[in-house]
Amino acid sequence: MTIETPIEFLKSIGPERAKLIKAVFGIATVEDFLNFFPIRYLDKSKTYQIKDLKENMPDIQLKGKITHFQETGTGRGKRLTAKFQDETGVIELIWFQYSQWMKEQLPVNRELYIFGKVNLFNNQFSLPHPEIEIEEKKEKEERLKPIYPGSEKLTKRGLNQKFFSSVLRNICLEIPNLLHENLPDDLRKSLKLMSRRSAYLNIHFPKNLKHLQHADRRLKFEEAFFFQLGYGLKKQHHQSHNVGNPFPIVGEYFNNFYENHLPFELTNAQKRVLKEIRNDMKRPVQMNRLLQGDVGSGKTMVALLSMLIAMDNGFQACIMAPTEILAQQHYHGISKLLENTDIQVKLLTGSTKTSERKTIHEGLMSGELSLLIGTHAIVEETVQFKNLGLAIIDEQHRFGVAQRARLWIKNKIPPHVLIMTATPIPRTLAMSFYSDLDVSVIDELPVGRKAIITAHRREKDRIFVYNFCRDEIKKGRQIYFVYPLIEESETLDYKNLTEGFAHISQYFSGNTVSMLHGKMLPAEKEIAMQQFASGAVDILVATTVIEVGVNVPNASVMIIESAERFGLSQLHQLRGRVGRGAEQSYCILMTSDKLTNEARKRIKTMCETNDGFKISEVDMELRGPGDILGTQQSGVVDFKRLDLLQDSEIIKVSKEIVEKILSKDPFLNHPDHEMMKNYYTKNYKGKNKWGKIS
C-alpha cells in the first residue's frame, strides 16, 4: 500500500464500494482516506446520568437499558422509538430510518452504552439514532471515538461509522510506510509540533484529548505553512520577474499640489501609506498593493497623490471604479481638487458620448491626457494609452479577476497596480488570500470626525424617526433613505422603493425629496446625485446604488429600510455614506419585528461598533470566508482543517516563519529544507486555484 493506492484495492472495499465512496466523498486514494477527517469525537471516557442532562450538550454517553420499543406512524412518518432507562430517569430513543433487521436486533433489557446528542422537546429528552454498544463487548481502550461525516446513501449499504473506522484502522497501521515528515526538525522542535505520522494517527484514533489537540495543531500548522510557502514563493517569483517602470522622482506636479492645493493636512496614516506606495513605485518592479481603509478614511487623496507621482515621471495614470456613479464622484472630486492647476482629467464610462470618447482616445494615445477616471469602459480594447504607469482600482472586489488582468496589458511594461478597498476584510483572511499582495492599511480617520450613532428602530417607531429627520433637516442636514434591492425579488423591491418614496414625499411635503435607483438612465442618475450633492434636495430615497463611495458630507442621517435584509458589509458601507462632515451623524436601522438570530446579530453588531475590521470578523463568522471574498473566489480558501477565525495565531506564525525561511534560503536549497521542498513540489506547486489576484 502507498498513499497513491486506489481504494478499490483495499481490503473490504473493492470496485463497487470504491465507486460509491468516491461519488459521495470524493475519496479515491489511500491519501484521500487519511485526509478524510472525523467531524467530531465522542468522549467515551465519561458516562452521564439521565438526571444530569441539559439542553445543548455535546455528544454524550449514557449507560442503562432499553425497556421496550414500538413502531409508530406509517409511510414517511414511520419511526421506531424505545424507552431507555438508567437509575435516575428515562429518555426516548428515536430512529427515523431503520431496517427490519435492526429492529429485531435491538438489545432489550441488557446493559448498554449509548452515544449521541440529546434533544430537549416538550420538556422531554430524546436521543435520535443513538450508537449502541453492549456492555460486555465495549472496547475498553477506546476513549475518544471519531465520528466521520455520514451519508445516508452509504449507510444504507453498510458503509457506516464502523466501516470507516475499520478501513482507517487498517490504513493507520501502515502509517510508517505511508507518511513522511515534511517540516524541518528544528522548526518542529521550536514550535513543539507533533510528528506528521503521529498527528495522522491521533486524528483518527486519539490516544487522549491532549494528543488530539496536538495532532490538530500540527495538521493546521502544516496546512497554513504550505499555503504561505506557496504565496511566498509566488511573491518572490513576481518580484524577480515582473518588471515595472521605476518612478524615481517626486517632482513639480506632486510638490506644487502638495504645497498649494491640498485642502487639509493628511492624516498620519495617509502619509505612511503614501510612503509605502512611493517606495514600491521607486523600484523597477511592478507594484501590486492593496490599500485597505475604512469608509471615509481618505483613500481618494492617496490615489490622487500617487497619480501625481506617476505624472512626475512622465507616465499616465487611471482610476477604475465599479459603478458609473462612483466614477463620476471620483471625477468630480478630483477635478475640483485640480481646479486651480493645469492638470487635465477626463471621465470615461459606458455613457460617454462618441465625440468625447474620441477626444479621450486621442488624448490618451498622444499622451496629452495624463489622468483618466472611469468604469470598466477603461479596459475595453479600443482604449489605448501612450504609457500607462499606474492603474488604481477602487472597491476591488466588485471586479472580476479577469477584468483586472486586462489592465495589465495596457502597457508593454505592466503598470503599477493599487487596489483600494473600503470593505475591510478580516486580517487572517487578508493574510491568507492576499498574501502575495502587499497590504497598506489606513487605520485612522481624519480628525474631527464624530463617531456615527447607530440605532435599531421598528415600524411602530416610524413617526419618531420621521420627526427626528425633520429636525435634522431644519438644522440644514440632508437625509438618505435606502431600500434593499435584491435581484430575485426585484420587481417587488422596486414597488417597496416607489411606495416608500410616495410615502416619504407625502410626509415631508415641505421638503424636496428625490429618488435614485439603478434602472434610471445614467444622465438621470447623475442629475439626482448632483442635486443631492449640491444641497438642492433634502432627502434622497435610493436603492443600494449609493452604497459604494458616494460622498455628500452634509448628509447626516442614513435610514436603512428592511435592514435585516442587508449583509453586514453592505450595512457598514451604507452607513459610511454619512459621518463625512463635521456634524454628528446617525444611522437608523429599520426592521420588522421578527428577526432571525443571524439578522439580530448583524443589527446588534452595527449598533455596537463603527470599526470595519471588527464588523468584517463578525461577518466572516456568520457567512464564512468564501462568501466574503465573493462567489467568484469562493473555494479559494477552503482549508481542510484551518479555520480563519479560530486559527489566526497559527496563520500569523506560519507566515512569519515562511518569510524567515525564504529570506535566508529563497530557493530552499539548504539540506534542512529538502523534505519541505519535495513535499511542496509534489503537493502544491502549480496547484494554486486562483492564479494572479490582480
Pick between residue 389 and residue 579 the one whose CB is nearest to ligand ADP: 579
The binder of ligand ADP chosen from 304, 378, 392, 422 (CB under 6 A): 422
Q: State the pairing for strand pair 539-542/513-516.
A: parallel
The answer to whether 492 and 484 are in contact (CB under 8 A) is: no
Listed residue (563, 540, 537) closest to 550, CA to CA: 540
One symbol per residue from 8 to 47: x for binding ligand ADP (CB under 6 A), - otherwise; what is it?
----------------------------------------
Listed residue (337, 382, 674, 383) closest to 372, CA to CA: 383
Pick between residue 267 and residue 591 the one whose CB is nearest to ligand ADP: 267
- Residues in 235-274 at the binding interface with ligand ADP, rule: CB under 6 A: 264-267, 270
The CA distance from 346 to 573, in Å, is 27
- Residues in 441-480 at the binding interface with ligand ADP, rule: CB under 6 A: 446
- Residues in 303-322 at the binding interface with Mg ion, rule: CB under 5 A: none
- Residues in 476-515 at the binding interface with Mg ion, rule: CB under 5 A: none
Listed residue (142, 163, 162) closest to 10, CA to CA: 163
Q: State the pairing for strand pair 288-293/416-421.
A: parallel
Residue 389, contacted partner among Mg ion, ligand ADP, none, CB below 5-8 A by kind: none
Pick between residue 146 and residue 549 the one whose CB is nearest to Mg ion: 549
Other Cβ atoms less than 10 A from the Cβ of 384: the count is: 12
Task: Using CB under 6 A, count the residues that bind ligand ADP.
Answer: 19
| Phi and psi torsions of 181, nearest 5° | -65, 145
One symbol per residue from 659 to 678: x for binding Mg ion (CB under 5 A), - otherwise; what is it?
--------------------
Q: Which residues have a Cβ under 8 Å from the Cβ of 502 and sit 6 or more positions away?
A: none
Note whether 298 binds ligand ADP by CB under 6 A: yes
Encoded amino acid at 593, one letter: D
Pick between residue 266 and residue 645 the one whose CB is nearest to Mg ion: 266
The answer to whether 644 and 432 are in contact (CB under 8 A) is: yes
Note whether 424 binds ligand ADP by CB under 6 A: no
Least distance from Mg ion to the Cβ atom of residue 551, Å = 7
Q: Which residue is nearest to ligand ADP (CB)?
A: 298
Residue 457 has which C-alpha cell?
428602530
Which residue shows C-alpha cell 478499490?
8
The CA distance from 404 to 409, in Å, is 10
Dihedral sign (CA 683, 687, 689, 690): positive
- Residues forming a β-bridge with 72: 79
Pick between residue 296 and residue 625 the one whose CB is nearest to ligand ADP: 296
Pick between residue 93 and residue 542 the one whose CB is nearest to ligand ADP: 542
Pick between residue 128 and residue 553 the one whose CB is nearest to ligand ADP: 553
Q: Which residues have a Cβ under 8 Å from the Cβ of 316 and sit 6 or more positions away?
A: 310, 364, 367, 369, 370, 371, 372, 385, 386, 387, 388, 389, 390
Pick between residue 222 and residue 395 the one whose CB is nearest to Mg ion: 395
Note whether 535 binds ligand ADP by CB under 6 A: no
Q: Which residue is nearest to Mg ion (CB)?
A: 549
The CA distance from 517 to 546, in Å, is 8
Least distance from ligand ADP to the Cβ atom of residue 265, Å = 6
The binder of Mg ion chosen from 206, 296, 374, 549 (CB under 5 A): 549
Q: Which residues have a Cβ under 8 Å from the Cβ of 685 and sit 6 or more positions away?
A: 230
The CA distance from 113 to 61, in Å, is 7
Type and span of the H or E element at 113:
strand 112-116
The CA distance from 347 to 335, in Å, is 10
The CA distance from 687 to 255, in Å, is 46
Cα–Cα distances in angstroms (integers) from residue 662 to residues 193, 351, 438, 656, in the given order: 20, 49, 16, 10
- Residues in 538-597 at the binding interface with ligand ADP, rule: CB under 6 A: 549, 551, 553, 580
Least distance from ligand ADP to the Cβ atom of residue 264, Å = 4
Residue 329, contacted partner among Mg ion, ligand ADP, none, CB below 5-8 A by kind: none
Residue 266, contacted partner among Mg ion, ligand ADP, none, CB below 5-8 A by kind: ligand ADP
Judged by CB under 5 A, the stretch of 38-46, 549-557, 577-585, 604-612 that binds Mg ion is: 549-557
CA atoms within 13 A on the CB side of 623: 22
The binder of ligand ADP chosen from 116, 206, 230, 293 (CB under 6 A): 293
Pick between residue 170 and residue 554 the one whose CB is nearest to ligand ADP: 554
- Residues in 344-383 at the binding interface with ligand ADP, rule: CB under 6 A: none
Note whether 579 binds Mg ion by CB under 5 A: no
Note whether 301 binds ligand ADP by CB under 6 A: yes
The CA distance from 415 to 413, in Å, is 6
Residue 264, contacted partner among Mg ion, ligand ADP, none, CB below 5-8 A by kind: ligand ADP
Q: Which residues have a Cβ under 8 Å from the Cβ of 89 and sit 6 or more positions away?
A: 49, 50, 51, 53
- Residues in 56-85 at the binding interface with ligand ADP, rule: CB under 6 A: none
Encoded amino acid at 292, one letter: Q
Residue 428, contacted partner among Mg ion, ligand ADP, none, CB below 5-8 A by kind: none
One symbol per residue from 494 to 533: x for binding ligand ADP (CB under 6 A), - otherwise; what is it?
----------------------------------------
Pick between residue 321 and residue 360 the one whose CB is nearest to Mg ion: 321
Q: Residues interacting with Mg ion, by CB under 5 A?
A: 549
Q: Which residues form the interface with ligand ADP (CB under 6 A)?
A: 264-267, 270, 293, 295-301, 422, 446, 549, 551, 553, 580
